[in-house]
Chains A and B, each alone.
Chain A
Amino acid sequence: MPVVTFDYRDFIALLGHKISKDELIEKLPMIGADVDSVDGDAISIEFFPNRPDLTSVEGISRAARAFFGYKTGLTVYPLNSSDVMTTVDLSVKTVRPFIATALLKNVNMTDDLIRSLMDLQEKLHLGLGRNRKKVAIGVHNVEPVTPPFTYKAVDPQAVSFVPLGKTEPMTLEEILQKHEKGVAYAHLLKGYDHYPLIVDAHHNVLSFPPIINGCLTEVTSFTKDLFIDVTGTDQKAVHYALNIISTALAERGGVIHSTTIHDGKTIFVSPNLEPMKKMLSVSYVNATLGTILNEQQIIDCLAKMGYHATVSKKDVLSVMIPGWRADILHEIDLVEDVAIGYGFDRFTTDFVNDLTFGKTLPLHDLCENLRSIMIGLGYNEVTTFTISNERSEFTNMGLPQSDCVKIENPIGEEYSCLRVSLLPSMLSILNENRHHPLPQQIFELGFIVDHDAKNRRHLAALKIDAKANFTSCKSLVEAVCRDIGTSYEIQESKHPAFIPGRCASLRKNNVEIGVFGELHPRTISAFSLEHPIIAFELSVDSINHP
Chain B
Amino acid sequence: MDFDKIIQELSQNEKKVLLTLKKLNGSASPQELVKQGDFTQVAEVMNAASWLQSKKLVAIEDHITTVYSLGKEGKHFVQNGLPEKRALKYLSEHNGKSSLKDLSQILEQSEISVAVGWLRTKGWVNIKKDKETLLEITDQGKKVLEIESEEEKALNYLDGHPNTTFEKTKLSSLLSRKNVLKEKEQVTSTIVLTEYGKKALEKRIEITEEISQITSALIKTGDWERTAIRPYDIHAFAPALYGGKTHPLVALIGKIRDIFIEMGFQEIEGDYVESCFWDMDVLFIPQDHPAREMQDTFYCKNPKRFPIKEKTLLESIAAVHENGGTTKSTGWGYQFSRTEGEKTLLRTHTTVSTIRYLYDHPQPPCKVFSIGRVFRKENIDTTHLPEFYQIEGIIHEENANFRQLLGILKEFYRRMGFEKIRFRPGYFPYTEPSMEVDVFWNNKWMELGGSGMFRPEVTEPVGVKSPVLAWGLGLERLAMQAFGLKDIRSLYISDLEWLQKTPLR
Interface residues of A (CB under 8 A from B): 29-32, 34, 48-51, 127, 130, 133-134, 234, 236, 287-291, 329-333, 335-336, 339-340, 344-345, 347-361, 364, 371, 374-387, 403-412, 415, 418, 428-429, 432-433, 436, 440-443, 445, 447, 449, 453-455
Contacts and interface: CB of A to CB of B under 8 A. Distances in A.
Given A287-B399, A356-B266, A407-B346, A351 B404 contact: yes
A453 B303 CA distance: 7
A374 B396 CA distance: 38
B272 A386 contact: yes
B404 A339 contact: no
A385 B385 CA distance: 9
A409 to B, nearest CB: 5
A387 B261 contact: no
A376 B250 CA distance: 16
Contacts of B432: 330, 332-333, 335-336
A290 B401 contact: yes
Interface stretch (B165-173, B215-223, B327-335): B327-335
Contact of A453 (B273, B294, B398): B273
Contacts, number: 260
Contact of B271 (A30, A291, A352, A453): A453
Contacts of B441: none
A376 B378 CA distance: 37
Interface stretch (B100-108, B144-152, B492-500): B492-500
Contacts of A371: 246, 250
Contact of A331 (B302, B328, B379, B491): B328
Contacts of B402: 288-291, 339, 347
Contacts of A406: 300-302
Contact of B303 (A51, A287, A329, A405): A405
A433 B499 CA distance: 11
9 contacts: A30-B425, A48-B426, A349-B407, A350-B404, A355-B365, A379-B244, A405-B272, A408-B294, A453-B273
B395 A352 contact: yes
Interface stretch (B67-75, B129-137, B452-460, B480-488): B452-460
Contacts of A376: 244
A335 B272 contact: no
B160 interface: no
Given A333-B432, A355-B264, A405 B377 contact: no
A40 to B, nearest CB: 21
Contacts of A415: 380, 386
Interface in B358-399: 364-367, 373, 375, 377-380, 385-387, 395, 397-399
A230 B423 CA distance: 37
B433 interface: yes
A347 B403 contact: yes
A48 B366 contact: no
B33 interface: no
B300 A432 contact: no
Contacts of A384: 492-493
Nearest to A339: B433
A94 to B, nearest CB: 14
A446 B119 CA distance: 90
Contacts of A361: 267-269
A356 B367 contact: yes
Nearest to A357: B264
Interface residues of B, number: 98
Q: Which of B247, B294, B404: most chain A CB closer than 10 A? A: B247
A348 to B, nearest CB: 6
Contact of B265 (A290, A356, A408, A449): A356
A249 to B, nearest CB: 26
A288 B273 contact: no
Contact of B272 (A127, A236, A418): A418
B37 interface: no
A445 B253 CA distance: 13
A433 B424 CA distance: 43
B305 to A, nearest CB: 11
B451 to A, nearest CB: 11
Q: Which 6 A-B pairs have the closest CB atoms?
A: A290-B401, A48-B427, A290-B403, A358-B261, A349-B407, A32-B425
A374 to B, nearest CB: 6
B201 interface: no
Contact of B410 (A49, A349, A354, A412): A349
B302 to A, nearest CB: 4
Contact of A336 (B269, B366, B434): B434
Interface string B452-483: 01011100000000010100000000000000
A20 B268 CA distance: 48
A412 B379 CA distance: 9
Given A354-B364, A411-B386, A449-B272, A383 B403 contact: no
A289 B423 CA distance: 14
A446 B331 CA distance: 40
A289 B328 contact: no
Contacts of B250: 371, 381, 383, 445
A375 to B, nearest CB: 4
Given A32-B424, A344-B424, 9 more contacts: A329-B331, A335-B433, A353-B397, A378-B243, A381-B499, A385-B387, A387-B387, A406-B302, A428-B493
B313 interface: no
B436 interface: yes
Given A378-B244, A411-B379, A449-B273, A364 B400 contact: no
A134 B334 CA distance: 11
B426 A386 contact: no
Contacts of A412: 379
A381 B245 contact: yes
Interface in B210-255: 243-247, 249-250
Nearest to B247: A381
